[in-house]
Amino acid sequence: MNTLFLEPHDVLYLRGNKLFGDAGAHGEALMPPWPSMAAGAIRSRLMAENQTIESLADFRLTHFGLAQRKADGSAEPLWPLPADLIVNSETLDNATYFQPIPLENGIASSYALPLLPVFAADKPSKPEGGLWLNREGIAAWLSGSPIKASHLIRASQLWATDPRLGIALDAEKRSAADGKIYTTETIALAKDVGFITASSGHTQQLANGDLLRLGGDGRAATVHAITLNTPETDWDRIEKEGRFRLLLTTPGIFADGWQPEGISAELVAAAVSRAETISGWDLLTGKPKAAQRIAPTGSVFWFECHDKLVDLQALKNLVDNGLVLNDASRRAEGFNHCRIAPWA
Average pLDDT over residues 266-285: 89
Instruction: Return d(Cα 49, Cα 104) in angstroms, integer.
Output: 61
Model confidence band, residue 5 (pLDDT cutoffs 50, 70, 90): very high
Q: What is the mean pLDDT of the chain?
A: 89
Q: Listing from the earlier edge strand, what are the strands of the sheet with 26-27?
A: 26-27, 175-189, 159-170
Instruction: Return d(Cα 213, Cα 222) in angstroms, integer.
Output: 9
Residue 340: predicted pLDDT: 97
Closest-CA residue to 208 (of 46, 4, 67): 4
Provide CATH 2.60.40.4350 ranges for the chain: 83-155+231-341
Count Cα neighbours of 332 within 13 Å in the Cβ-side half-sphere. 14
Higher-confidence residue of 45 and 111: namely 45
Q: Is the predicted pLDDT of residue 24 greater than 60, yes or no? A: no
Instruction: Return d(Cα 194, Cα 181) in angstroms, integer.
Output: 31
Domain 83-155+231-341 classification at class level = mainly beta
Instruction: Return d(Cα 132, Cα 177) in angstroms, integer.
Output: 42
Residue 18: predicted pLDDT: 66
Q: What share of the chain is helix, strand, coil (3-state, %, to 5)?
A: 15, 40, 50
Instruction: Return d(Cα 243, Cα 257) in angstroms, integer.
Output: 23
Instruction: Return d(Cα 96, Cα 121) in angstroms, integer.
Output: 10
Average pLDDT over residues 137-164: 95
CA triple 281-284-287, angle to 5 deg: 40
Cβ burial 137-161 (10 Å sphere, 16+ → b, else e): bbebbbbbeebeeebbbebeebbee
Model confidence band, residue 34 (pLDDT cutoffs 50, 70, 90): very high
Average pLDDT over residues 124-130: 84
Instruction: Return d(Cα 39, Cα 215) in angstroms, integer.
Output: 11
